[in-house]
Amino acid sequence: MKRPVNASQKATRARFGRRALVAAAAAIVLSAAQADETVVKDPHYGPYVQQIASVGAWKVGKGYVSLDPADTTRLMEKMQNPGVEDTWLYAPDGMERWFSVISYDNTGHVKDDEKIDPSAILEELKKSGELSNEERRKRGWPELHLIGWQIEPHYEPDTRRLSWATLNESNGEKVVNYTTKVLSRTGVATVILVTDPDKLDQSVAELKAQLDGFAFNPDQQYAEFRDGDKIAEYGLTGLIVGGAAAAAIKTGAWKWILGILAAGWKVVAAGVVAVLAGLKSLFKRRRA
């Protein structure tokens, strides 16, 4: 049963200052994790094979956990990240160090033969950042400004993974967003990592190791492209800037892009230590 929200709590949530927002996010998740075990109903502890969008599977190793879309949606809502649907969570058991979410977009086959220009892409991202800040101002949220690359975009032909990390600033505080795109025959899987910025390198290394357990089905692997398959309207650069946003606008998912990538993960990452500490008790009780 959900706890009632009193006038004081409503007033706190109504203040959208940076510190107030982070504190509110942490408090909401902590109270939910401690008092409402229906947030996560059916966590899958490794060893387990988590099916992803009927196109692939992620092997959940011992010491790790995954969530189906329904549980992921409820958990993200508790973290003030609404509208996260058709998304799977993968994390260390108890979510103590980091967590990631994976989704799949049937964009068509993305050609990977273009050269990536990090400097040019960064300039485009900075220009497009004003669009998200316009939305953030409408919602009363602090603006988020792109400083530069924490990890420059790079593509691994052997794994078909495109990864990058941006360093951002909001109200004088810095936050890192790390993203990996995995190409398939017919689309792209997007993996977003949420962690303490100070532990980014460690978390990225651990996530990469776990991603070795993710694979598309044999008929969905990138090399299985056939004549007549749909071709995406953009390439690797478009996956980082422009292409994904354009697809989101066309499908009505722009609110999701703004609310999650441009704002929500920033808030969760900033309060990630407190948030994950609260969620740890929830997962322990659920497992028991």
In this prediction the pTM is 0.74
pLDDT in tens, 90-105: 999 888 788 899 999 9
pLDDT of residue 46: 97
pLDDT in tens, 36-82: 456 889 999 999 999 999 999 999 999 999 999 999 988 887 775 66
Residue 111, phi then psi, degrees to nearest 5: -70, 135
pLDDT in tens, 183-232: 999 999 999 888 877 888 999 999 999 999 999 999 999 999 999 999 99
Distance CA 74, CA 135 (A): 24
Hey, what are 185's tokens?
A: 């025959």
Which one-letter amino acid corresponds to residue 87? Answer: T
Confidence check: pLDDT of 181 > 80? yes
pLDDT in tens, 246-261: 333 333 333 434 443 4
Angle at 214 between CA 38 and CA 178, to 5 degrees: 75
Quickly list DSSP for 79-127: TT-TT--SEEEEEETTS-SEEEEEEEE---BPP--SPP-HHHHHHHHHH
Distance CA 170, CA 145 (A): 6
Burial class (CB in 10 A: 0-12, 13-18, 19+), 238: buried
Q: What residues form DSSP beta bridges with 99?
A: 194
pLDDT in tens, 118-154: 999 998 888 777 777 787 788 787 787 889 999 999 9
- Helix (H/G/I), strand (E/B), else coil: 156: strand
Percent of the chain whose pLDDT exceeds 70: 69
> Quick one: how far is CA 72 from the chain centroid?
11
Confidence check: pLDDT of 87 > 60? yes
Q: Does residue 47 have a cis bond before it (omega within 30 degrees)?
A: yes
Region 24-43: mean pLDDT is 52
